[in-house]
Amino acid sequence: MMDSNVISFQTCGFFVVVYFLHAAYGDVSYTFPEEMKRGSVIGNMAKDLGLERSALSNRRARIDSDGTDERYCDINLNNGELIVADRIDREGLCGEKASCILKHELVLENPLELHRISLHIQDINDNSPQFNEEFINIEIRESADKGARFVLEEAHDADVGQNSVQQYSLKKNDHFILSVDGNSIELVLEKELDRENQQEINLLLTALDGGSPQRSGTVVIHVTVLDANDNAQCLARPSIKPVCLKTLL
C-alpha cells in the first residue's frame, strides 16, 4: 500500500519517486522588543492565519525552531496567542547587526501543514557606553603649544542604532577642550601648561547614547605634566655674581 504522501511515475522503465514531505503556507511576521517577560503576548497566530482555535489542539499545533535547539516562543492552544517562551537578548543573538530576525515554524498535523514565522527583534537601550579602561594616562610636556591634539580611545556600546554612543562631553577645566569628528575623539590643549603650578590634571570624559532613558559611561583622563626645563638654573659661585643658564630640550 503506497503512502498518500508518495507519488510514483514510470518513465522509460525507470521509477521516479517524488516525496511530498509537507505543505508550506504563507509567512507571518512579528516585530517586538527584546527582553520581553516570559509569557508576554507577541501576536495571535490563529487570527493572523485564519485558523480555527479548536484546530490548534485537534491538530497538535506546536512551534519548532529553525536550525537551532533554542525555542524562543510558544503557542497557547486555547486562544492561538504566540507568547515569549525564553529570554531574548538581541545582543547575544545578533551582536551589532542592524537587523535581528529569528525563524520559527508553526506545525500542524493531520494533515501536515507548516507556517513560517519571522520574529524581528528590536533593540532596547539596555546597555551603557563603556570605555576599555577605567583610567586613561597621558604624558604632556609643559612646552606643548596651544592647539596640540591627543587622540583618545572611543567608548563602545553593545546596543545598536540610536541606542549606541551618540556624543561625548568633557567636564569643564582650565586647559583642555574636546574635539569629536565621527569616531575620532581628541583632547585639545586650549591653555598652555605650567608644571610648576600643576604637575597632574584629572579630566572626566563622558560618553552618552541616544536612547530613552539616556545611558552614559565615564572615564578619568590622568594628565601628567612633564618638565620642559624652561626655568633658568642659577649656578652660585663664591664671591661671583650667580650665572643663570637655560637648558633647552
Round to whole Å and give the CA distance between 44 and 98: 27
**Fold classification of 135-226 (topology level):** Immunoglobulin-like (2.60.40)
Residue 2 has pLDDT above 50, yes or no: no
Which architecture does CATH list for 23-122?
A: Sandwich (2.60)
What is the per-residue pLDDT across 88-107, written as a single tens digit (0 to 9) for each? 999 999 998 989 999 999 99
pLDDT of res. 65: 82
Copy the grid coordinates of residue 233. 638654573
pLDDT of res. 214: 95
Give 241's pLDDT tier (boundaries 50, 70, 90).
very low
Give 70's pLDDT tier (boundaries 50, 70, 90).
confident
pLDDT of res. 24: 53
Which pTM does this prediction carry? 0.71
Q: Where are the domains of the chain?
A: 23-122, 135-226
pLDDT of res. 238: 43
Residue 117 has pLDDT above 50, yes or no: yes
Beta-strand pair 113-122/101-108? antiparallel
Round to whole Å and give the CA distance between 177 and 191: 9
Same topology, domains 23-122 and 135-226? Answer is yes
Give 182's pLDDT tier (boundaries 50, 70, 90).
confident
Report for 20-24, 48-52, 145-149: range of highest mean pLDDT: 145-149
Give 25's pLDDT tier (boundaries 50, 70, 90).
low
Average of per-residue pLDDT values in the chain = 84
Task: Indicate if the alpha-carbon torsion angle 42, 48, 51, 52 is positive or negative.
Answer: positive
243: number of Cβ within 10 Å: 11
- Average pLDDT of span 109-120: 93
Round to whole Å and give the CA distance between 77 and 57: 6
Residue 48 has pLDDT above 60, yes or no: yes
CB-based contact 137:226 (threshold 8 Å): no
Task: Tell me the helix, strand and coil percentages in the chain, rounded to 5.
Answer: 10, 50, 45
Give 201's pLDDT tier (boundaries 50, 70, 90).
very high
The residue with greater pLDDT, 242 or 149, is 149
- Average pLDDT of span 212-237: 78
pLDDT of res. 228: 77
Residue 218 has pLDDT above 80, yes or no: yes
